[in-house]
Amino acid sequence: MSFRTRWHYYRRIFSAYLGSGRSQLTFWHEVPEANPRASRDRLGEYYMLFREKADYAGHHDADGVPMLDYHGTIGLRYNPIAIAQWGLGNYNLLSEAQFESRWQKAKAAADWLCKNLQQNSQGLWVWNHHFDWEYRDTLKAPWYSGLAQGQGISLLLRVHAHSGEEKYREAAQRAFIPLTKDVGSGGVLFEDQNKNIWIEEYLVNPPTHILNGFMWALWGVFDYWIVSQETEVRELFNRGASTVLANLAHYDTGYWSLYEQSGTRLKMLASPFYHRLHIVQLRIMTMLTGSSLFNDVANRWEGYLRSPANRRRALVGKALFKLLYY
């Protein structure tokens, strides 16, 4: 990362964390919770609650669609992942009061996803982020994400099931294709030397295999299988779930979980928020796959979380990584 980019990054981060106004962090950092009403047998409520995200009190456009304030040079932007999660959170609340309001919000998110599905340079349909993003390597706009593809599909299929409008199913079909194609062909899939397949949240070289984004994207594959019942789709989910399970040891430091496989000398530890998210996601993976092995790791990582010494050590390690590599 260049000095100029690093300067803009730190200005934006300090403004987001310490400023008096709302930032994108207001949306992202709710307490992760599994949805006890979700099922692996049908396309019902989403697997996480997203209750606070459903009631996001930040910026919205004229159609009611949320926009996130990244501060700094990025400013106010649409984020397709946030829009999908906002829609899923409202969809989960259809069974409660204010049905019409919740439905209009879920539908507004799905309509935005339909309208903003765009072809990339290889002709595949993706949701682009139209701003540069300071990752270890800067992601230049427009960039797309396996996480956005998976969660967009999860919302579109649910809105289609509820409304019967074919445009949502057709958009989900187009958005699914990049989940089956490798990065070099315009997709978001990476196969490693051990024949493990990864859905990449950020498309960088070498890939970083962000754990939370991979699992969230896999749930979109699972949802697509529920609807399509296609053998190839189920095989894709099974291979992805096997990849997660086979590699969890590489995300376990013995006291905390890693955010990604950064490929750097100092490993990128998960923040407390993402560590908690990993635990919830692993429990949901147990529900979707029937394998208690995911739950075993979740229990171990939950034990790490209960240790104040582990939490302090993780915070220091995370801060040091950011200072050295961002």
Segment holding 68, helix H or strand E: strand 68-69
Average of per-residue pLDDT across 179-185: 98
pLDDT band with cut points at 50, 70 and 90 for residue 16: very low
pLDDT tier at 324, thresholds 50, 70, 90: confident
What are the pLDDT digits (tens) for 101-121?
A: 999 999 999 999 999 999 999
**Beta partners for residue 129, in sequence order:** 143
Distance CA 319, CA 321 (A): 5
Report residue 26 as tokens.
């207001």
Tens-place pLDDT, residues 231-261 = 999 999 999 999 999 999 999 999 999 999 9
Q: What is the pLDDT of residues 55-87, one digit of tens each?
A: 999 999 999 999 999 998 899 999 999 999 999
Structure pTM? 0.93
pLDDT of residue 56: 96
Q: Report the distance separating Cα 160 and Cα 154, nearest Å.
A: 10
Q: Which residues, including other chains, have CB under 8 Å from residue 83's CB and lie 6 or more apart?
A: 65, 66, 109, 112, 113
- For the record, the structure tokens of 179 come out as 């989940």
Could you read off the pLDDT of 134-180 as tens digits, one per residue? 888 899 999 999 999 999 999 999 999 999 999 999 999 999 999 99
Q: Could you tell me the fold of the domain covering 3-325?
A: Glycosyltransferase (1.50.10)
Q: How many CA atoms lie within 13 A of 269 on its CB side?
A: 22
Rounded distance, CA 321 to CA 103, Å?
42
Q: What average pLDDT does the segment 299-317 reach?
A: 96
8 Å CB contact between 83 and 24: no
**How far is 136 from 134, CA to CA, in rounded Å?**
7
